[in-house]
Amino acid sequence: MSSVSDDQLVKVSTEAATELVQTFYQALCSNRESIASFYAPVPSKILFNGNTVADGAAVQDIFVNQMPHAHYEAQSYDCQVINRAYPTVTESGIKPAAQMTIKDMSILVIVSGHVRYGENRDQPQRGFSETFVLVPNPSAERGKRRRDWLIQSQNFRLVV
């Protein structure tokens, strides 16, 4: 990867975070069958209120089969680049630096918002804080629906 300017790093990382925040919470609310597609194949850690969940498929299973309707709203979020050359493991081994683009960064995202469980609008709004680590999608697949970044780790906590 040749030199990348700071403004490109900020632009790409903040757009990736925005994409996550806009699509992920919408999926938790009304498109739960798509939840697994947000996750890296082997996430390093997924936590909900201190409960470890194994992977994206397990998260989707919980939301589809156990969770009542939930309305999430992200009220504030921010992100930072963690590693601008994340060592992605592909089928042919670690991606060489020469093949890397600006989209090979890993990103830390923090979200502050509220969630209301159940259909009843009188249910209280609970405050939550959620931290994600996004890593480049290792799959070679191309297409419109391909996500450029996947969730490597996630920690959701109710905080109010």
Partner 1 sequence: MKTMKSRRPGGADRGGIRKRGPTRTDRDGDMDMDTSAARGGGKRGRGNTGRNPTGRSAPSGRTQGRDRNIDAIQKAISNSQDSFSIRSGKNTNADRLELYSVRGWKNSKASTRRDHGVESLISYLERRLNTLKSGSRAKITKSRVEGDALIVSVRPDLAEPMSKINGNVFAGVNITVEPYDPSSTEALDREIGAANGLSPETVDVKSKMTAILARRYFPETKLLDLSKLGTDTDLNAMGMFNKTSTESKFFPALMKVWNMGFPDAKQRREAVESVSLADNQLANINVVTTLAVTIPGLKNLDLSNNNFKDAHSMIGWRWKFRDLEFLDLTGNPFSTDESFKNTMMKWYPKLQTLNNVQVRTPEEVAAQKKTPIPVQPPHFQDDSQIAENFIRTFFAGYDGNRTELLNSYYDETSSFSMNINTTAPKAAQADTASWDPYIKKSRNLLKISHLPARMARTYTGKTKIGELWSTLPPTRHSDMALHPEECLVECHPVPGLPDQTGQSATGVGGLLVMVHGKFEESLGGKMETRSFDRSFIIGPGNGPGGIRVINDILALRAYGGHEAWSPENQAIPQAIPQPIPQAIASPAAVVPPIAPAAIPVVPGAPDPASQRDTGCLAQARPIPKFSRNS
Return the number of the residue (91 or 145) whose C-beta is nearest partner 1: 91
Contact residues: partner 1, CB under 8 A: 6-7, 10-11, 14, 17-18, 21, 42-45, 47-55, 57-58, 61-62, 66-68, 70, 74-87, 94, 106, 108, 110, 112-114, 117, 122, 124-127, 129, 131, 133, 135, 152-153, 155-160
Quote the least distance from Cβ 91 to partner 1, whole Å.
16
Return the number of the residue (37 or 125) whose C-beta is nearest partner 1: 125
* Alpha carbon 133 to chain centroid, angstroms: 7
Quote the least distance from Cβ 106 to partner 1, whole Å.
6
Tell me the two tokens of residue 64.
């589809």
- Terminal C-alpha separation, the chain: 43
Return the number of the residue (31 or 124) whose C-beta is nearest partner 1: 124
* Strand pairing category for 149-158 and 45-48: parallel
Quote the least distance from Cβ 128 to partner 1, whole Å.
9
Burial level of 6, CB count in 10 A (0-12/13-18/19+)?
A: exposed
Quote the least distance from Cβ 47 to partner 1, whole Å.
5
Burial profile 14-26: b = 16 or more Cβ within 10 angstroms, e = fewer: bebbeebbeebbe
3-state secondary structure (DSSP) of residue 76: strand
